[in-house]
Amino acid sequence: MQTTLKIEGMSCQNCVRHAREALLAVEGVTEAEVTLTPGQAIVTHEDAIESEALMQAIEAEGYQPSLA
């Protein structure tokens, strides 16, 4: 399953790396492609993973996620 998130607040490639690592740390996530422009993440994960868990991981890094 894939979920696309819009991520606000990223300003550099270091932000992209932090967001990607946070998403990959969520159990059940198999891949996370994060881009600065546009600020988004395409996350591949098990069906049981709720989008809320993905958004919480991004929020913990200090960014503002929303469903795209």
Question: What CATH number does residue 19 fall under?
Answer: 3.30.70.100
Q: Are 2 and 46 in contact (CB under 8 A)?
A: no
How many domains is the chain partitioned into structurally?
1
pLDDT of residue 55: 98
Domain ranges, residue 22: 2-67
Q: What is the pLDDT of residues 9-42, one digit of tens each?
A: 999 999 999 999 999 999 999 999 999 999 999 9
pLDDT of residue 34: 98
Q: What is the pLDDT of residues 40-64, one digit of tens each?
A: 999 999 999 999 999 999 999 999 9
Q: Over the range 34-58, which residues count as b (16 or more CB within 10 Å of their CB) and which as e? A: beeeebbbebebeeebeeebbbebb
